[in-house]
Structure 1
């Protein structure tokens, strides 16, 4: 029987991690865990509750008590529920995108999320994507990928996603927002965004999604 490994895919916002991880999981017959969706769901709930994003005790309490579910769907992307409410689409809004890094940098929130994510990934046969998977959540993962692209390319891809949902955005402004989020994620004190020492660094600015997926699948099948 083929050994099922853990695959960690990290990288900055808009690099295509979610799409790539979902497709890699489908190709290998693995489970897919979108950790970013968990942080986005918490951020959405914090906004709904009117929480102040500098109120650490309130944010940690939310992370500790919120019921977050990632349910599989026919296309492999998760249906995201928080406290029983389907937030799959709302968590991809610009408002959530602008606040999620503020929540994600709170140490107590990250501790709660890391514990949950490790439990969900237990047993292998899983593709997990996020910001700190290879460095913090699953440092023992057999294959680690750090997926990135230039801020301009990532902004264009994100703008196309939003346009598909009927949201008009300014690509130049989105590029600036992505660069600011990169800086915030990379400079936070707890679990900053950075490649794991043993991660494969992959700049996909000039690659198609299919090429990135093939690259990762090939390497996953080569892991002994």
Structure 2
């Protein structure tokens, strides 16, 4: 059966990553968490005291960054490795969340990560989620989805995610972080968060996890059938 590229974009805490992972699993596709890639870069920059106003320092740092994804069978999830080290939990901290939008808005960073992402998707059969997958990384993706949800619902979901990692954060602090990230992601000059013209909107506010996964699986199956008929 022919395989396609599924691009899932949208706001933070809409369920993009968890949904994309499950869709990929059910279709037998590879899952690429681009948000985790930018978080890993943010972590590397912080650990190595990289000055975000120094182009040469960033070039040198980016040349040293190798990002990979490996499946953890015990936790049944893909985990991100930064230069051979598992940083899956470390990149999910509020400290990184408060800094990732600034780092991901830098042109050099986006160019480096987009190049890696496009290389990963050459063979198709992937589900990739982020902010600019359908507009910049894979503008020719066969299926583009744009996920959104009520702002407060998003905050409650993110707070719950953090609590599951034993990180207790006040809801107001979470909401302020989401608002800041929305503004930075939507207004940045380089690859802003926008809905692709041919993307299908999925509002997850009142959807169960199974509903949103099922909806995207259905859309994917229709696209795959269309590819077979066309070819």
Q: Under TM normalisation by the shorter chain, which class is it?
A: over 0.9
Q: Contact 1:22–1:76 (CA<8 Å) still a contact in 2?
A: no
The aligned residue for residue 120 of structure 1 is 120
Q: Contact 1:33–1:121 (CA<8 Å) still a contact in 2?
A: no
Instruction: Give matches, 1:74-223, under 5 Å.
Output: 74=73, 77-223=77-223
- Higher mean C-alpha displacement, 160-169 vs 71-80: 71-80
Q: Distance between the aligned counterparts of 1:89 and 1:137, measured in 2? A: 26
Secondary structure of the residue aligned to 1:72 is strand
The aligned residue for residue 28 of structure 2 is 29
Q: Distance between the aligned counterparts of 2:209 and 2:53, measured in 1? A: 37
The aligned residue for residue 46 of structure 2 is 47
The aligned residue for residue 5 of structure 1 is 4
Which stretches in structure 2 are left out of the alignment for 5+ residues?
227-231
Q: CA deviation at 1:62?
A: 2.0
Deviations along 1:23-47, one digit per CA (max 9) or x if unpaired, are 0001111111111111111111111
Which stretches in structure 1 are left out of the alignment for 5+ residues?
none
Structure 1 stretches of at least 4 aligned residues deviating more than 6 Å after TM superposition: none
Q: Distance between the aligned counterparts of 1:154 and 1:56, measured in 2? A: 35
May I ask how many residue pairs the two structures share in their alignment? Answer: 223
Q: Distance between the aligned counterparts of 1:142 and 1:184, measured in 2? A: 28
Q: Distance between the aligned counterparts of 2:60 and 2:138, measured in 1? A: 24
RMSD of the TM alignment (CA)? 1.3
Q: Distance between the aligned counterparts of 1:183 and 1:34, measured in 2? A: 21
Q: Distance between the aligned counterparts of 1:67 and 1:32, measured in 2? A: 17
